[in-house]
């Protein structure tokens, strides 16, 4: 029997792209990366654990902000090279997934040839990250 982690198609750096989608609403909250250890920890803990490329280490979502993601389901796409997490975003109502203090990291919309912030800041990031 093969290990389920072996069926994921990791890139040359040993990473796989991950989309966090809010359970219930279907909102795409964020995009991140996982290495093998992060995906295994996520499955084990039922909590989103990502790999921070900038810090070069595991990143337990919410470890600094308190905005934890409870993971309800883990899926891969048809090629096994993208992971989709169904999550509940905790820590603020409605949940804040983005380091900018917004519900979703996908808050910019293209309007008249320019990117415009379409979603409000729910909490000042300076008060989140101290």
What is d(CA 129, CA 34) in angstroms, rounded to the nearest whole number?
23
Q: How many domains does the chain have?
A: 1
Asked if residue 96 is part of any domain, the answer here is: yes
Residue-wise pLDDT for 55-102, tens only, equals 999 999 988 888 899 999 999 999 999 999 999 998 767 788 888 889
Residue-wise pLDDT for 31-45, tens only, equals 999 999 999 999 999
What CATH number is attached to the domain comprising 110?
A: 3.10.20.810
Asked if residue 129 is part of any domain, the answer here is: no
Q: What is the pLDDT of residue 128?
A: 78
Domain extent at residue 37: 4-118
Q: Which residue has the higher pLDDT, 112 or 1?
A: 112
Asked if residue 78 is part of any domain, the answer here is: yes
Asked if residue 126 is part of any domain, the answer here is: no
Q: What is the pTM of this model?
A: 0.88
Asked if residue 130 is part of any domain, the answer here is: no
Q: What is the pLDDT of residue 127?
A: 83
What is d(CA 79, CA 7) in angstroms, rounded to the nearest whole number?
10
Q: What is the pLDDT of residue 84?
A: 98
**DSSP code per residue over the chain:** ---GGGGS---TTSEEEEEEEETTT--EEEEEEEEHHHHHHHHHHTB-EEEETTTTEEEETTTTT---EEEEEEEE-TTS--EEEEEEE-SSSS---STTSSS-S--EEEETTEEEE-S--SS-HHHH--
The mean of the pLDDT values for the chain is 92
């Amino acid at each position: 029997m093969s290990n389920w982690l072996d069926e994921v198609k990791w890139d040359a750096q040993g990473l796989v792209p991950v989309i966090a989608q809010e359970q219930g609403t279907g909102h795409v909250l964020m995009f991140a990366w996982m290495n093998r250890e992060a995906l295994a920890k996520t499955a084990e803990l039922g909590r989103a654990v990502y790999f921070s490329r900038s810090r070069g280490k595991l990143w337990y979502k919410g470890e600094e902000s308190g905005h934890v993601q409870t993971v309800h389901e883990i899926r891969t796409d048809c090629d096994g090279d993208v992971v989709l997490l169904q999550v509940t975003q905790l820590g603020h109502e409605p949940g804040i997934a983005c380091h900018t203090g917004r519900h979703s990291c996908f808050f910019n919309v293209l309007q008249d040839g320019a990117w415009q912030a379409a979603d409000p800041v729910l909490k000042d990031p300076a008060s989140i990250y101290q």
